[in-house]
Amino acid sequence: MSEKRILTAAEQPEAGAALKKSLEMTKADVVFEVRESNMRGRGGAGFPTGVKWNLAGAASGANKMVICNADEGEPGTFKDKLLLEKYASKLLEGMTIGGYAIGSSQGIIYLRAEYPYLVPGIMKVREELISKNFLGEGILGTDFSFDVEIRMGAGAYVCGEETSLIESLEGKRGEPRNKPPFPVNSGYLSRPTIVNNVETFVSVPYIILNGSEWYQDLGIGSCTGTKLFSISGDVENPGVYEFQMGSTIGELLEVAGVKDVQAVQVGGASGTTISAGELDRKLSFEDLPPGGSVIVFNSSRNMMDVLENFLEFFVHESCGQCAPCREGNVRLLDTARAIRGGKITSREELKPFFMLAEVMKLGSKCGLGQTSPNCFVDIITKFIDFPDGKGGM
Amino acid sequence: MSRKPEDIVSAAVVKHGSGREAVMGILTDVNRELGYIPEEAIKAAAKAVDVSNAEIYSVLSFYSFFSTEPRGRNIVRLCNTISCEMNGSSDILDAIEKELDIKTGETTADGRITLETTSCIGLCDESPAMLINDTPHTRLTPEEACKILAGLE
Amino acid sequence: MPNVSVTINGVTTSVREGVTILDSCKTAGVEIPTLCYHPDLSLAGNCRMCLVEVEGWKTLAIACVTPVTPNMVINTHSKKVRHARRTVLKLLLAAHNVNCPECERNKNCELQELAEKHNITFNEYQTSPKPSSIEEVSPGIMRDNSRCIMCTRCVRTCEELQSVAVIRPVGRSASVNISTFMDLGLNNVPCTQCGQCINRCPTGALFETSEIRQVWEAIEDPEKFVVVQTAPAIRVGIAEALGLPTDRTTGKMVAAIRGLGFDRVLDTDFTADLTIIEEGHELISRLKKVLVDGDTDTALPMTTSCSPGWIKFIEHKYPDLLPNVSSCKSPQQMFGALSKTYLAGKEGVDPSKVICVSIMPCTAKKYEKERPEMRDSGYKDVDYVLTTRELASMIQEAGIDFDNLHDEKYDRWMGDSTGAAVIFGATGGVMEAALRTAYEIVTGQEIPFEGLNIIPVRGMEGIKDAAITMPDKMASGFEFLAGVTLKVAVVHGLANTRKLMDKVRAGEVDYHFIEIMACPGGCLGGGGQPIPTNPTVRKKRSDAIYEEDAVLHFRKSHANPEIQLLYAEFLKEPLGHKSHELLHTHYTKRD
């Protein structure tokens, strides 16, 4: 596996080509093609996009919604910003195809508050697409209409969780909902709703144009396609890279120019922290779940600094609704500080906090609390020495 | 002369509608124009979408970008998440605090600048970075950051 | 919904598809701990106490919101579940002010009970003790957020049951707390002081503003003539507040209160009967003005005015409809005004020495007595208000063995009661009492319901209504009502009230008279009543109230002998000069 630029290739397929092809297909065939491609959502959770579309298409309910999650907030992630900046045409085309597939005429881009400067560019692309009849009323002479509006977030990491995002769009606190019901049945304003990541929508036109088999050939096993990675930290050439699924983290780091590795955080603060000895692990949902972010730490970095920074982030960003996440992250941060302050000096004393981490993973309401303890467990287990051995159970 | 909070809300309602789902748009418009969301705007928004004042207050208190405290003409948001931190954002924060003689979360006496730190703003490859109002500034050094702030109206 | 088979802790059972894991476990006799769950409220799923293991799931499931699916295999006390529950519980306790002996809810706290059940003797997550911090003070309700566990039951109560929505989560993450608009406090926002939030708080984060100390000091002051009035719903709540089974215990209650040292033990039931006479005449007079005089300024439907939570609600939310509210003071305030005039005269005491204490099922009564207009006797009409819970606390402090007391009777002049007054404590009771009296006044006949039981206005349905057609032959002076169909409605809970008042405002309903109680179930479910409250508890209290009505000698307000004496000797006539001076009031538009 290797670097392969498709979404970010210099040569781009003509705008509207995939949409044109989609409108010549039945809705069911469009959903089928996306499902067969095996593409899994690019936001991090990895739910199969075609399955989601199929459920929303089959759901009963009027005014179905297509929502683009452009609230990338995972520390170290900026790949969606690149897509929104340079490839908005493909994004809007992907959303429009999604609208056609599930029977929706209304799309919303939920854009994070930190990216207001991207709005004019996206709106300009929208105007262009409308002028070409790729968006708006009666698209390409059919009776299918679809339009997209941008709605701004206001600074809340948790709104990247799809039900929080929907709550926020409804004018509420961005607190995750209980599931079921799932958004495909009852999402925005109780309408059947698909929420997909920017990268997911941008990938759709390529799947339609080239076919699901072509897409399946990219990647490894059930992890198909290419994936964008935002690389930052101790790296010579930070930026966004596009690799096939299944590439190793080592391959990625080589291209980005990394010489000295102590640790790599894959998938952001809520992802997995690996040590220099794990660079042959594959970026795939089965091995090393590929969020959008890769942060490299060289040997001069104190990993406890990193842990404290991440936990401060989660303490700040937890929605505060459910007990394990609200109270748990605070305790994990207290513990990290206690280790640094020499108040916790043995693995034995850490046991209750590893138990806490486990309970947060098992019992929190949403992905935030379920993944925020990852950095605590990984960093203490892999990087911190105690007189009675490395941290961990 | 800036518009009254109630008038901003009225204009926002024309733009976003008076459904519950208009709340974020209304609050964003007020916050953007005034730098904060005053009590009168909350009341007007609550009335417009027919929910209690407490409900609107609750919603806005959830989001980092919204504030009920008056803020400066310019809002500086310096990223304090890991990639920026690794590239020296805390030195920049120290330099700015010293230069402006305020602490994080405060506003300069002349009402020119409010200084805040923020979670990741997606500029990690050009870190350290900050947003001033809607504009990103990247690859900062303490000197450069202070220079940029000095140029603010 | 068809039945499905589920396996709970190895036992396979059949439950209705779509019910929650919690409900199916309850049916199967398996107890699952909960905190944010409350049968009166929507599901929040935020405390995570009810975590259970479902085979095939990566994470644990929360029992309160997760519906069962066919062949679901549920384990409610696996090692994983046990560890998770203990950890969640410890986290909640770590963020909680655990100074239990100094808490109003000591020994009646759901968090404390769970800690005990789970044998939490040591808490690794307790970093530093949380000091008490009284965050909000209002005449009826206080809040100490150091005891709050963010279950949001109060928030949901305020919004869903009462449609008041003055408390909401504010802030985010660990700094989130329950607060009011701009953190102004309950006293400075449109809070109705109904106290329903207190009744549903699992801990002691919400409690009434206590006046126990002031009442003891009054009792202990030999200069003072301390009279006490007991609201209708206390007699079915006090036993429960003392940890005894729900029952009507009027005689024991009188004995216990007398045992505390009050100079006179009297009954708000007496002024409940008085309210019926005054309000009944007011209704008839309004009907006459509209039907005979064609007066367009007289507002109909007329609504009741005895629930102070309702009064504050309408002052904030429907000020345009204030003319519809009966001008009658509530029974509590009528009692207060008479205690310092009529009663002082009868007892031959200096009215300035009279201290009037009410025992109320209500926190809004604490607010009501502070209203500046409630001083028509020349003094503050009611000095102190205790909730049912505060009375129980005083009885316990005095070491009175309630269960073994002999029944005693109320003192005279303002102690007589009727069944009509007793049922004021239940939703529909005021309406039933009013109909029993008003019908008889205008027709000269008893209302034609078997045993005087007007069943259509009873029960726990949110909005009830009834229509009663007057006979052709009326009592002298009331011929204008012959053949008229009187339309009435009964509503309880402010969310239901809002629905009905919207219709009244829009002119979509043509009722003549509406009974409105702020609290679900009426006063028996009031904010000052024993905790917990839920549909089962309220049904029991309601049953006890209607039992008391059935056994009383007098069932109609106008039959109350002391009421007859009061009119003969003091008031002279309903809606007369003295009545207007002492028993009627006006209302204030509020923002």
Please determine, for residue A126, whether its predicted confidence score (pLDDT) is greater than 80.
yes
Q: Which residue of A has its CA nearest to C43?
A: A178
- Residue of C65, C87, C151 to mutate for A, most A C-beta atoms under 10 A: C87
Judged by average pLDDT, the poorest of A386-390, B58-62, C92-96 is A386-390
| pLDDT for A37 | 97
Please indicate, yes or no, if residue C450 is contained in any of the structural domains.
Answer: yes
Number of CB atoms found within 10 A of residue C133's CB: 11
Res. B1: pLDDT tops 60: no
Let me know if C90 is a catalytic residue: no
Instruction: Give chain B's end-to-end CA distance (angstroms, integer).
Output: 16
Say how far apart CA A187 and CA A163 lie, in whole Å.
Answer: 8
Q: Are residues C317 and C425 in the same domain?
A: yes
Indicate if C347 and C258 belong to the same structural domain: yes
Looking at the domain assignment, is residue C190 inside a domain? yes
Q: What percentage of chain C carries pLDDT values higher than 70?
A: 100
Closest Cβ opposite residue B83 in set A152, A188, A233: A233
Looking at the structure, tell me whether residues C313 and C337 fall in a common domain: no
Asked if C234 and C381 sit in the same domain, the reply is: yes
Domain shared by C232 and C373, yes or no:
yes
Q: Residues C390-403: what's their mean pLDDT?
A: 98
Looking at CA atoms only, how far is residue C231 from chain A in angstroms? 39
C411 in any annotated domain: no
B123 pLDDT exceeds 80? yes
Do the Cβ atoms of A76 and B124 come within 8 Å? yes
C284 part of a folded domain:
yes
CB-based contact A154 B123, cutoff 8 Å:
no
Reduce the DSSP state of residue A219 to 3 states and report it: strand
- C-alpha closest to that of A325 among A355, A353, A356, A299: A356
Q: How far is C189 from chain B (nearest CA, A)?
A: 9
Instruction: Say whether C396 sits in a helix, a strand or coil.
Output: helix
Give the list of residues 6+ apart from residue A360 with CB closer than 8 angstroms, or none. A324, A325, A328, A329, A369, A370, A372, A373
pLDDT band for position A1 (cuts 50, 70, 90): low
A183-187 contacts, C-beta under 8 A, 24 or more apart: A183/A56, A184/A52, A184/A55, A184/A56, A184/A59, A185/A55, A185/A59, A185/A61, A186/A61, A187/A65, A187/A67
Q: Which residues pair with A242 in a beta bridge?
A: A228
Which residue from B minimizes the CA distance to C167?
A: B54
Q: Is A231 on the interface with B (CB under 8 A)?
A: yes
Q: Do C80 and A365 touch (CB under 8 A)?
A: no
Is C306 part of the annotated catalytic residue set?
yes
Pairing outcome for strands A219-220 and A223-224: antiparallel
Q: Which domain holds residue C27?
A: 3-77
pLDDT digits over C402-458, tens only?
999 999 999 999 999 999 999 999 999 999 999 999 999 999 999 999 999 999 999
DSSP B140: -
pLDDT for residue A393 is more than 60: no
**Model confidence over A28-65: pLDDT tens digits?**
999 999 999 999 999 888 899 999 999 999 999 999 99
Are the CB atoms for A272 and A281 separated by under 8 Å? no
In a domain, C86, yes or no: no
C252/C228 same-domain check: yes
Task: Evaluate if residue C128 carries a pLDDT over 80.
Answer: no
- Does C82 fall in a domain? no
Percent of chain C with pLDDT over 90: 97
CATH number at residue C527: 3.40.950.10
Domain termination site, one of C182, C208, C234: C208
Instruction: Report the CATH number at residue C379.
Output: 3.40.50.1780
Half-sphere CA count of B110, side-chain side, radius 13 A: 7
Q: What is the pLDDT of residues C336-350, one digit of tens each?
A: 999 999 999 999 999
CATH number at residue C15: 3.10.20.740
C196, C338 Cβ separation under 8 angstroms: no
Does C49 reside within a domain? yes
pLDDT at residue B103 greater than cutoff 70: yes
ipTM over 0.90: yes
Question: Which of A359, A283, A274, A376 shows the shortest CA–CA distance to A322?
Answer: A359
In sequence order, what E strands does A14-170 have?
A: 64-70, 104-111, 147-152
Q: Does residue C430 share a domain with residue C521?
A: yes
pLDDT for residue C439:
96
Q: Decide which of C404, C432, C457 is a domain's last residue.
A: C404
Beta strands B135-137 and B130-132, pairing class: antiparallel
Same domain, residue pair C198 and C100: yes
On the question of a cis peptide bond just before residue C101, with omega within 30 degrees of 0, the verdict is no
Residue with tokens 């239990």: C100
Structural domains in chain B?
5-62 (no CATH), 74-150 (3.40.30.10)
Write phi, then psi, for C500 (nearest 5 degrees).
-70, -40
**What integer pLDDT is reported at residue C130 of this predicted model?**
76
Residues C386 and C496 occupy one common structural domain:
no
C498 in contact with B, Cβ within 8 Å: no
Going by pLDDT thresholds of 50, 70 and 90, the confidence category of residue B72 is: very high
Q: Name the domain boundary from C380, C404, C428.
A: C404
Q: Report residue C127's pLDDT band, with 50, 70 and 90 as the boundaries.
A: confident
- pLDDT class for C131, splitting at 50, 70, 90? confident
- Domains contained in chain C, number: 4
Clarify whether residues C441 and C475 are in a common domain. yes
Residue of B80, B119, B136 lying closest to A317 (CB–CB): B119
Contact partners for chain C, using 3 or more CB pairs closer than 8 A, are: A, B
Tokens found for residue C261: 């040292």
- Whether C34 and C125 map to the same domain: the answer is no
Angle, helices C429-443 vs C268-291, to 10°: value is 60
- Hey, are the CB atoms on A365 and C125 less than 8 Å from each other? no
Axis-axis angle for helices A303-317, A323-340 (nearest 10): 150
Indicate if C132 and C182 belong to the same structural domain: yes
Average pLDDT over residues B56-67: 97
Q: What is the CATH number of the domain that holds C167?
A: 3.30.70.20
Kindly list the structural domains of chain A, giving each domain's residue range(s) and its CATH number in brackets, ordered by start: 17-217 (3.40.50.11540), 223-297 (3.10.20.600), 303-390 (1.20.1440.230)
Q: Kindly state the average pLDDT of the residues A234-256.
A: 96
Spatial CA neighbour of C198 closest among C133, C112, C138: C138
Cis check: omega of the bond before C301, within 30 degrees of 0 = yes
Q: Give the angle A278-A284-A290 at the CA atoms, nearest 5°.
A: 85
- Kindly tell me if the per-residue pLDDT of C279 is higher than 70: yes
| Closest in C47, C83, C171 to A359, CB measured | C83
Q: For helices A323-340 and A373-383, give the axis angle rounded to 10 degrees.
A: 30
Q: In this structure, are residues C225 and C349 in contact, taking their beta carbons and an 8 Å threshold?
A: yes
